[in-house]
């Protein structure tokens, strides 16, 4: 059957964190709305993950929490420190270490890592992933440990700005 990855870039963040640390930056109001809308969108498409991994950054954890609540997802969640300020090879290592009981995994994280990792997995080219965008890759592997650069197929890339008319309907 193969495996699927969904990369989810965190929603638009506020540039001011109470602590002054990048990792503590919260979501801006626009990021909150987008996270909720994209969570509902995945649910309406019946394309929910069975496991989610998130960076420990506040904006990533909040994006996942809001999406899960809005879309009524029931997937398991794991916070992975290696997804914050990661390089694509680090993300690949995290992916390869996942349990094979999961078929579709969602990863919530950051730029430029998500664009670079997507490009690595699809074998090149340039991909830009705006805030709160979902990207789905299809992997023709039976085991996460088999995931290698250049073997993924880009199924879709859904930015909230492009989808705003549809997302507004979901929010009603």
Q: What local confidence, expressed as pLDDT, does residue 1 receive?
A: 67
**How far apart are alpha carbons 111 and 164 in whole angstroms?**
22
Closest Cα to residue 109, out of 89, 82, 70, 146?
82
Give the largest Cα separation in the chain, rounded: 46
Q: What local confidence, expressed as pLDDT, does residue 169 receive?
A: 65
**How far apart are alpha carbons 140 and 129 in whole angstroms?**
23
Q: What local confidence, expressed as pLDDT, does residue 19 receive?
A: 79
Is 60 in contact with 67 (CB distance < 8 Å)? no
CATH of the domain at 36: 3.40.50.1240
Spans in the chain with pLDDT lower than 70 = 1, 164-172
Number of domains in the chain: 1
Give the tens place of pLDDT for each residue, 128-149.
999 999 999 999 999 999 999 9
| Domain around 52 | 3-170
Under the phi-then-psi rule, with left for phi > 0, alpha for psi from -120 to 50, and beta for the rest, what region is 16? beta
**Distance, C-alpha 91 to centroid of its chain:** 12
């Amino acid at each position: 059957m193969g495996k699927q990855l969904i990369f989810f870039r965190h929603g638009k963040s506020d540039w001011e964190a109470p602590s002054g640390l990048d990792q503590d930056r919260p979501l801006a109001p626009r990021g909150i709305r987008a996270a909720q809308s994209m969570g509902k969108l995945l649910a309406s498409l019946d394309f929910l993950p069975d496991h989610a991994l998130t960076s420990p950054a506040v904006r990533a954890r909040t994006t996942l929490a809001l999406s899960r609540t809005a879309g009524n997802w029931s997937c398991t969640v794991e916070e992975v420190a290696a997804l914050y300020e990661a390089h694509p090879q680090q993300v690949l290592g995290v992916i390869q270490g996942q349990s094979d009981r999961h078929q579709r995994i969602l990863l919530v994280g950051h730029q430029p890592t998500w664009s670079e990792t997507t490009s690595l997995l699809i074998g090149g080219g340039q991909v830009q992933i705006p805030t709160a965008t979902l990207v789905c890759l299809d992997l023709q592997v039976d085991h996460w440990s088999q995931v290698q650069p250049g073997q993924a197929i880009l199924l879709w890339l859904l930015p909230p700005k492009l989808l705003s008319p549809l997302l507004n309907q979901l929010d009603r």
